[in-house]
């Protein structure tokens, strides 16, 4: 029983660790907005325009847009426009947002 409990706790710890990154504050107010599967850049740009926002760049998949959202009202407006999840872009930099060739990887 004790060995299986250790295994369960280890798996839970490994699974929960990346989620702690979501609690990290956004650097430069950059947030990655994840839209429904099947959305592409055109859909994201149209939804963002409806929320008075403009995409800064796009993520690793077609349904992720990166925005500068400096207040909660901007994030709520983007959620109303169709974003399912909004996370600080720096928290999941390698997973959600592809670094640009000119971007400093250490930052």
Residue 61, pLDDT score: 87
Residue 41, pLDDT score: 93
Count how many domains the chain has.
Answer: 1
Instruction: Give the tens place of pLDDT for each residue, 41-81.
Output: 999 999 999 999 998 888 888 899 999 998 999 999 999 99
The dihedral formed by the CA atoms of 95, 67, 62 and 90, expressed in degrees to the nearest 10: 0
For range 7-19, the mean pLDDT: 64
pTM of the model: 0.68
Q: What is the largest CA-CA distance in the chain?
A: 55
Domain interval for residue 69: 25-96
Percentage with pLDDT > 90 across the chain: 39
* Beta partners for residue 31, in sequence order: 67, 88
Task: Tell me the CATH number at 68.
Answer: 3.30.70
Confirm whether 38 is domain-assigned: yes
Pairing verdict, β 57-58 and 30-34? unpaired
Confirm whether 13 is domain-assigned: no
Confirm whether 106 is domain-assigned: no
Residue 106, pLDDT score: 45
Radius of gyration of the chain (CA): 16
């Amino acid at each position: 029983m004790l060995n299986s409990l250790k295994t369960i706790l280890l798996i839970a710890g490994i699974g929960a660790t990346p989620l702690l990154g979501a609690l990290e504050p956004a650097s430069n107010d950059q947030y990655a907005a994840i839209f429904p599967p099947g959305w592409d850049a055109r859909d994201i740009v149209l939804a963002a325009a409806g929320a008075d926002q403009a995409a800064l760049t796009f993520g690793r998949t077609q349904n992720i847009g990166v925005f500068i959202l400096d207040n909660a009202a901007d994030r709520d407006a983007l959620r109303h426009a169709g974003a399912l999840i909004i996370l600080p872009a720096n928290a999941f930099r390698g997973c959600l947002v592809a670094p640009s060739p000119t971007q400093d990887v250490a930052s």
